[in-house]
Structure 1
């Protein structure tokens, strides 16, 4: 990695910490520069605006969250276990993506198109991860569903609802276990 890329990555990390602490609206370039230990001109070398830094920070959160999901599902071999790992990590993600959570709230309040596009891209990538697991499970005869993309969207929507509940970790684990039973065993007796 070049020195410039290293410095840019460090700046993104410092900006992330600053945005988490103060929120998007209250964070200024001066705040980021002060925490970074350099002047604003150094920041302008890498980014044209506070919005551009924020985008880079959100992109970093998305990438890290997707990496966490993929790593969790790659650690296990069975398709059912992959879904279980996905659900477990997915419900913990909100604690690892504070700016995405804040950004989602901002979209609802201010109709920010760029943030909305990040949220949609993140959602579609999560659905894609799930869809691939389900499609593999269908080919292996593990799952009996006709449309893995639709099933993945339904699962992700259910998880989003549980995430919004912001339950204590013990209750969240219990709810995810119940959700998994519902997913795998359905509504029929």
Structure 2
């Protein structure tokens, strides 16, 4: 079983690297097999088609992305540090994965199925991210840094913060903007915390 998992992971890793470098439409099953050092029959033994491989690539990348952000946020103690870390680590992680995100967001007809999978994964990730930010804001209230908020206001603030950072994320993915955003995270968090306190 361990050997089978090793084979599957080598296929997924090879596909991830090829997708980041060449995109979805230019990567073939033959390319993936060659990059993984396997025969095409091995790929088809484990995956029905290229789309199934990409589902796995996207799922693992999104899970890794969230773990990376959450672990960094969890290590911080104060509200300000947690929010700054959330923004900075998220932006750094997106920059590292930008080509993968670009390919996942392609909109031509040949990638419609992948776009659907990416949206499903993105919805799951967005909920995890909202829960993380809600817990950070709740901590801020508990430590007295933020004024008490109603449950509805707290949910709205969470959504606004996630949406704000998502807008920056889209600018990075689509237009390679905000090269210095991590440097400005203190300012953004300061404005947010001051406004809420």
The two structures share one fold, judged by TM-score above 0.5: yes
Q: Which runs of 4+ in 1 moved over 6 A?
A: none
Unaligned residue ranges in structure 2 (runs of 5+):
none
The separation in 2 between residues aligned to 1:50 and 1:110, in whole angstroms, is 13
- In the comparison of the two structures, how many residue pairs are matched? 186
SS of the residue aligned with 1:143?
A: coil
Bigger relative CO (Cα 8 Å, ≥ 6 apart): 2
1:65-104 superposed matches below 5 A: 65-97=65-97, 98-104=99-105
Give the aligned partner of residue 178 of structure 1.
187
1:57 aligns with 2:57: yes
Q: Does 1:141 align with 2:150?
A: no
User: 2: distance between equivalents of 1:123 and 1:106?
Assistant: 21
- Counterparts of 2:7 and 2:45, CA distance in 1: 11
Is contact 2:134–2:155 with CA below 8 Å preserved after alignment? yes
Shift of 1:168: 5.2
- Please tell me whether the aligned partners of residues 80 and 190 of structure 2 are also in contact (alpha carbons under 8 angstroms): no
Which residue of the partner structure matches residue 165 of structure 1?
171
Match in the other structure for 1:22: 22
> Does the Cα contact within 8 Å between 1:61 and 1:100 map onto a contact in 2?
no
Give the secondary-structure state (helix, strand or coil) at the position aligned to 1:48: coil
CA distance in 1 between partners of 2:5 and 2:58 (Å): 17
In structure 1, runs of 5+ residues without a counterpart are none
- Residues 123-154 of structure 1, C-alpha deviations (whole Å, 9 max, x = no match): 22212211122123223333223333321211
Maintained 8 Å contact 2:171/2:178: no
Q: What is residue 153 of structure 1 aligned with on the other side?
A: 159
Is 42-51 or 148-157 further displaced after alignment?
148-157
Give, in whole Å, the separation in 1 of the partners of 2:154 and 2:135.
8
By how many angstroms is 1:74 displaced?
1.8
1:53-95 deviation per Cα after TM superposition (whole angstroms, max 9, x unaligned): 0010001110111111111112212232211111111122212
Change (3 A) 1:122 1:184: same
